Structure 1
């Protein structure tokens, strides 16, 4: 992935994808619950933070089962953008995310930069995590993913490291992944939301950057629920206790891995990772988060990011960070 550290979208730089070409292979991208299209950025690009002729996923909010024409959670697309920006506060490698609109339908969403195909990157291929789960678990149900588990993922990681194939530290990668997901409350790191990128040089492989992070940040909560959680510690505790990773620790476990306790459990197995996670959580301050969130309230889009939701996302994220640090530092 090329250096994309400097990308920044201002409120007056909303991308209109109405005239973007659809990728010749994917008019509707087939993976995931939300409607998404694989598009090609025009040349010249509309803004300098977009890459001409690069692929981007346009993602909409999940539609209602009762009324497919309406979103179930209209503000969900903001979670994808906020997760990207929080990831950057943690100095993680994430594909850039920008808010956008299809003006022909007045449909807001995000354009998520595809993490392959950058200029000069050479020949690469992406192998989703589901491929490895199917190889190691006979009869693995890829649609439901009930047997998705961290132990099998770590078996794959160790095997690749043993052969000298991996280009980075898998223990750090998965520790940061679990920590990031716990911080934002991401419950959707299923077998299609991680994978390996293989190059022909060697061959060599690296894990994908952390992508598809929008099922997070309390996006599903209505205003009354948000207000109650900010007033009532018991309601907040119950919500946070119910938070679980999509995966289990081991295939036969009855319960999925709890978000915060799962990070602490990982660090018991790999204690050298603990200082890195603590440092990444301490590496940004409350004002950094609130300034970023408040800036998003300036974007003029359907289903805007309100000041009330900005305050709640800050409250929820800081509460999760505090609990993560307590679990890691004690």
Structure 2
């Protein structure tokens, strides 16, 4: 049978933290003019970053690249204390676009560290969110990437041991690793609410519902996007062929041969405009109907930093 239907995941695409981070850069550009410097990609999406670059945002990794007195934005992933201190010492005007759900993890780490806790952090080495969270302390945070790491880790003490997680992990993978942590360290302190963010959870839940209904799943997201990668991996684990694309141009007609129903979703850093472009391309390949699956309606909204709210002075 020819390609017939595209089923759109719900929810998909931008989350409240990404919306807020992009709006911070946009408002800073309007209020202070270009250039606005941003440490690291504001969110992990090529389209978003290139759009902001065209408007005057300059993305940097080293604060030495930022001229004195400039306006600097920290990305949604958060930064270490050392980066915060260096930015203040250099005299920049700073706006922090760290997702409030990541900031919540930072606050928890700082609070428990004062009580003498060591930490196990479940996450991916090299991801900026992990670097930012581990950088909240000079020592005492051990990175756990998989179950094997749980067996190898050697905290200095186990009486006061807490676990935190990167917010964009696979919910199932994190639960598997956390079970191993509990088995080895029964006294470990867990967050009152899980660290994996509501949007990551909701998008993964939607893929779990969608995957059995479709012959192939397309995930819109950039290669650097952790949560987008997890969506593709999740569908594949459920037995549904899945592909991640940064744009409609990356779709391959061979993926749709012998396919009658296509699922379409997007990571939390991928804008809806890309989803619609991918949808139009799939229609051009023969799809005749589009159906939106029912799902959680997200109403979370995070406030902007002082100095960027409407009518406020910096």
* Greater relative CO, 1 or 2 (CA 8 Å, sep 6+): 2
Give yes or no for TM over 0.5: no
Q: Which has a greater percent of strand?
A: 2
Q: TM-score, normalised by structure 2?
A: 0.29
Q: Which has the larger radius of gyration?
A: 2
